[in-house]
Amino acid sequence: MSPDPALLRPHPAGLGLPKSPTARRGLYSWTIVEALGDPPALGAVGVCDDRERAMQEMADALRATSQEGAFGLLHKVERRLVGIGYWYGDLLALARIDPDRDALVVSEGEPSGGRKPLSDVFCEVVRATGTPPLGNAA
């Protein structure tokens, strides 16, 4: 259940949140993944318009889960023009609890600036972890 190292890099301190006003604009989706599978088992989820608050809510939800190995994903999202749901952009952060230190560990993504195809949260879990759905294992 570890993140794809090509997508994420460890952040040495804090939650790795940008403080500039331009970095905080937009919508941010956070998702707690309790277990991988097809489909993945999701826990708490949320969307808000402040990255720092989204990261804090994700961290609080992750600390509150009792599922060992659970992790959180933070994405920048946009509303779809047609239908309901969101257009998922880059993975901004992956968070997990280190059980040995009882500490939150956050890895930040490297934004590409490009758009990805429309996808849902389940596709983003697969993309973030590099784990294919069970029915599509290679």
Instruction: Return the pLDDT at 131.
Output: 66
Beta bridge partners of 97: 104
In contact, 54 and 61? CB cutoff 8 Å: no
Asked whether the predicted pLDDT for residue 10 surpasses 50, the reply is no
Average pLDDT, the chain: 75
State pLDDT tens for residues 77-115.
888 777 777 878 778 899 998 888 888 898 887 666 665
**Alpha-carbon gap, residue 63 to 54, rounded angstroms:** 14
pTM (whole model) above 0.75 = no
- Tokens 């993944």, located at residue: 33
CA angle 72, 75, 76 (to 5 degrees): 155
DSSP H/E element including 75: strand 71-79
